[in-house]
Amino acid sequence: MTEQAASGPFVDARDVTVRYGDLTAVDGVDLSATKGQVVGLIGPNGSGKTSLLSCIEGLRKPAGGTIRVGGFDPVTDRTRMTRIAGVQLQQMVYPPRATVEEMCRLFASFYPDPADHRELLDRFGLSEQRRSQVVKLSGGQQQRLSLVLALVNNPQVVFLDELTNGLDPAARRVVWDELRRRNDEGLTIVITSHYMEEVEYLCDRVNVLLKGRIVATGTPSELIREHAGDAARLVLDGSGGNRELRDSLTALGAGVQVRVAGQRLLLDVQPARRAEVDRVLAEHGSTPRDLPASLDDAYLNLTGQAAGSAASEADNVNVS
């Protein structure tokens, strides 16, 4: 079989079902990525992301469905699959005394045309750890090493499960920038993540998985537009203790949700009530800060999880 039917998606999973005994963890899911696309898979803990991804990676045989990656069946065309795909697992187990350099050399030895692992270590900020034992690296450093190892075969596509879990904000930026750069060069990327800011930043398309089924798919902008809701989210800094203002806003009733978060007041305001809210705020000399609708809001609405949208304020909020 050729590497890819020119017209079809590079990653093409159709009607995939995964069962563990009586539990159907993935229930007839389609997921695809065209060449050079960054595709995200998001959903609550236990929604089936890793189960689906491990089938696409060829590490698990699905109970039903068909999967092709670059035209190959990831289970039966294992050898060719491993040449074109890089895999970062949620948890890796390393030999007890192996150093970073040794792990890189070991992984590189599996492939005919590996990347320069020293350059990769440098790109991911691990040059100084080359001679360190892997087990002595911090969690975030191990996470970055797992990315280096996923890229050491110069893959055409990478599957990254919980991409930047445990990374500090600066390291997360390094990883994002590096992946973006590689994507610009044509790398296809499939990620799972609980960080909506990351998904919004990186992904061309996002699939929302809930209880083993895709409940929404689209670009981040489409998901926000269609699912974030039309309530305005306002923040009143320094007004948390202003009882009079709080009571006046609460008295507006339906369509105006008022919450205290420390020294701030957080408001969710339906469009029909906005003019009244603005009037009350003007009477109290308060100027609100508008929070833009985010993928967090869409995610929370789609998955029915308790919304805390105004509280999240576009920080790196782990929404799982």
Ligand X SMILES: Nc1ncnc2c1ncn2[C@@H]1O[C@H](COP(=O)(O)OP(=O)(O)OP(=O)(O)O)[C@@H](O)[C@H]1O
Q: Give strand pairing partners of 17.
A: 27, 64
CB of 190 to ligand X, least distance (A): 13
Nearer to ligand X, 189 or 236 (CB): 189
CB of 130 to ligand X, least distance (A): 30
Nearer to ligand X, 47 or 156 (CB): 47
Quick check: 50 and 192 in contact, CB under 8 A?
Answer: yes
Binding of ligand X at residue 254 (CB under 6 A)? no
Binding of ligand X at residue 50 (CB under 6 A)? yes
Nearer to ligand X, 43 or 220 (CB): 43
Binding of ligand X at residue 49 (CB under 6 A)? yes
Task: Give the CA distances from residue 102 to residues 98, 105, 143, 145, 268, in Å, rounded to whole numbers and listed in that order.
Answer: 6, 5, 16, 12, 54
The maximal CA–CA distance of the chain, rounded, in angstroms, is: 72
In b/e form, how buried is each residue of 60-84, taking b as 16+ CB within 10 angstroms?
bebeebebbbbbbebeebeebbbbb
Q: Report the alpha-carbon distance of residue 22 to residue 63 in Å, rounded.
A: 12
Q: Which stretch binds ligand X (CB under 6 A): 49-57, 72-80, 109-117, 223-231?
A: 49-57
Quick check: 87 and 57 in contact, CB under 8 A?
Answer: yes
**Binder of ligand X out of 37, 51, 142, 239 (CB under 6 A):** 51
Binding of ligand X at residue 45 (CB under 6 A)? yes
Q: Which stretch binds ligand X (CB under 6 A): 9-17, 43-51, 73-81, 197-205?
A: 43-51
**Binder of ligand X out of 2, 20, 93, 169 (CB under 6 A):** 20
Quickly list DSSP for 91-143: S----TT-BHHHHHHHHHHTSSS---HHHHHHHTT-GGGTTSBGGGS-HHHHH
Binding of ligand X at residue 46 (CB under 6 A)? yes
Binding of ligand X at residue 47 (CB under 6 A)? yes
**Binder of ligand X out of 9, 48, 74, 288 (CB under 6 A):** 48
Q: Which stretch binds ligand X (CB under 6 A): 48-56, 110-118, 217-225, 250-258?
A: 48-56
Task: Characterize the bridge pairing of strands 264-269 and 256-261.
Answer: antiparallel
Q: Give the tokens for residue 82.
A: 């491993």
Binding residue count for ligand X, defined by CB under 6 A: 12
Binding of ligand X at residue 88 (CB under 6 A)? no
Phi, psi values for residue 146, rounded to 5°: -65, -30
Q: Which residues bind ligand X (CB under 6 A)?
A: 20, 23, 25, 43, 45-51, 320
